Amino acid sequence: MTNLMLNLNVLKERFSHVAHKIAEVETSITEETSTYIERVEPDHEWLQAVRQSVESTECIFVYGFAQGLAIADLLDIYPDRLLYVYEPDIIQFYKTLMNYDLRDLLNHRNLHYIAIGEEQLNSVFYMAAVHMQQTLAFVALRYYLEREMDVLREIKSKFEKFQVTYDSNLKTHQFFKEDWVRNGLYQMADMLSSISIESLKNVFPNSTAVVVASGPSLKADIDWINRLSPHALILSAGSSIQALVKHGIQPHIAVTLDGGPINGKVFLDPRTLEAPLLYASTSYYEITDRKTDHKIHAVMSNDEVSQYFMGVDKAHTVLSPTPTVTGTAIQAAVWMGARRIIMMGQDLSFPGGKFYADGVEHIDDEKVASLIEMAPHKVPNVQGSFNQASDSFIFMKDSLENLFEALPGIEFINSTRYGAVLEGTAWMPVEEAYELIRDQEFDANQVANIFKGRIDRVNHDSIHRVKEKIINTMEDLNGMKDELSVLLKKINTIRELSRSKPAKCHQTIAEIEVAWSDIVFREWFATIYEIVLPLEIAHFDQHQPLIAMEQNVIRKADLIHNHLGSLVNQIKSKIPMLKTVFEESIRRIDAINM
């Protein structure tokens, strides 16, 4: 058997994504392709420089694999660290697999992750972000240090941005956690009986869409919306619906995304629910409950709960989450056929020391004043001066600018009169935007027509499948409760056993590992619990590799007791809440199936 086959067998087992990538490119690699060769003897000067970078950091990001010699040196020097290795040159890695038997190295327990090629860079970032406890040490092979220093700085900068997004997503999950599970399951009955955004592809071809946000600039131009309405699809994003209805304006479609109860206050006025409603599967369920007809649902790409129970393939979801509902509205408009987006009220800053447009009243004035006072940033505005901005506004701004870049062929016009400058858009006062589209026609009946003939009779087969999946999960949850109790008893014995009966402790730890695997490898476990316990699971994930590496039985028992024991108790504590949510979801599904 060749070196390549031997190495690929290990990669298929440990790093299947790498093996798959090698299979993709194998036929295009020729013998003439040049590669770089590491020096065989240890590079002591380089290793000394590495020591200064690594210090006490638990996780080491290594840029470059070469023939694996430097990697092997790092594994020898740092037996208690986790290595995350990224080789940008796929051909280089392939030639190494061909020429050397790397099975021992690839199987090393401290070689925690390998990624190759630009497409896999985010995957290694993700694994490092999951397991790092404080900081990540960045190390590059000498070859890359001497030739690609600018690239290395860019990679480090990309990771820092990735980590900000990862931490933000984790905090968002923590903020909403139980709400997201509850929202998805409570709205499942409605999603089974309403039309989906996926079914509305290109229903308004080559149209212009006006996405209205709730920033203070909206006040200056709100009267233009009625003039734009005969020429463009009008979408209200989130709380802007309050300002619109206060001025007697109805959008063609209202869009809601946020999952917390405070979002329910946005739609308390019955007039806010008169327009057709596009709601995310993670949005607050009481809004959907109050809206009786003309609803469009969107299973979000990050909503694994709805995807799991409804049998939706993530690859087929249309909308991805952004930090602002404006991003949701833009994606929906583009999916429905818009090729020009005009944005109004998207200030992403505090022009004139204001947060919201007049009429937006779901947050108290004292909290708004505090947010403005504490805003640490100044951003250029479209009038040539500067506005104060908060961290969250900067994050939203970056997210929208990334979205603009990800939608080539779409014209973005920023008509927010006093708002922040948005890269990827053209600034245009609304009166000029109006002149641009005044010869176009958009009939409001087009929106009403999408609901005609699209809602077929309730699909009883789909309802039955979803209901059965929820029932089976609830029953398995009850069974898991007993398993957790048994597991906790074992965990509570190992600290004493590690000090008095180490052999018995090793045996009990092995039993704990099997029992824990039986719990976490349930089909539904990660889907549910990574939502309701995001920080707790993230905390355990940080420590799990270190637990696995620990050889001292006393320290290992202490780590398991402290970290796994705490997580198991948290998992068990959520069972009553989940059972209640499942039961209510079933009741709601039964109500539409009558």
DSSP, collapsed to helix, strand or coil, labels residue 523 as coil
**pLDDT confidence tier of residue 8, bands split at 50, 70 and 90:** very high
Residue 1 has pLDDT above 90, yes or no: no
Q: CB 294: neighbour CB atoms within 10 A?
A: 19
> What type of residue sits at position 490?
K
Output the average pLDDT for the chain.
89
Share of the chain above pLDDT 70, in %: 91
| Strands 136-140 vs 233-237: parallel, antiparallel or unpaired | unpaired
Residue 35 has pLDDT above 80, yes or no: no
Main-chain dihedrals φ then ψ at residue 78, nearest 5 degrees: -120, 75
CA neighbours closer than 13 Å in the CB half-sphere of residue 79:
3
Q: How far apart are CA 542 and CA 547, in angstroms?
A: 10
Q: CB 9: neighbour CB atoms within 10 A?
A: 14
pLDDT in tens, 473-505: 999 999 999 999 999 999 999 999 999 999 999
pLDDT in tens, 376-432: 888 999 999 998 888 888 888 999 999 999 999 999 999 999 999 999 999 999 999
Question: Comparing C-alpha atoms, which of 138, 140, 75, 143 is closest to residue 112?
Answer: 75
Instruction: Please state the pTM of the whole predicted model.
Output: 0.76
Q: Which CATH number fits domain 3-147: 3.40.50, 3.40.1420, 2.60.120, 3.30.70?
A: 3.40.50
Q: What is the pLDDT of residue 281?
A: 93
Among 12-21, 131-140, 539-548, whose mean pLDDT is lowest? 131-140
pLDDT in tens, 293-342: 999 999 999 899 999 999 999 999 999 988 899 999 999 999 999 999 99
Q: How far apart are CA 39 and CA 166, in angstroms?
A: 37
**pLDDT confidence tier of residue 217, bands split at 50, 70 and 90:** very high
- Locate the domains of the chain by residue range: 3-147, 178-346+411-417+427-449, 460-592
**pLDDT confidence tier of residue 261, bands split at 50, 70 and 90:** confident
Write a three-state SS string for 33-50: CCCCCCCCCCCHHHHHHH
pLDDT in tens, 280-307: 999 999 999 999 899 999 999 989 999 9
CA neighbours closer than 13 Å in the CB half-sphere of residue 51:
9
pLDDT in tens, 428-462: 999 999 999 999 999 989 999 998 865 545 677 88
State mean pLDDT over 240-245. Answer: 94
Q: What is the pLDDT of residue 523?
A: 94
**pLDDT confidence tier of residue 553, bands split at 50, 70 and 90:** very high
Among 195-199, 475-479, 520-524, 533-537, whose mean pLDDT is lowest? 533-537
Share of the chain above pLDDT 90, in %: 63
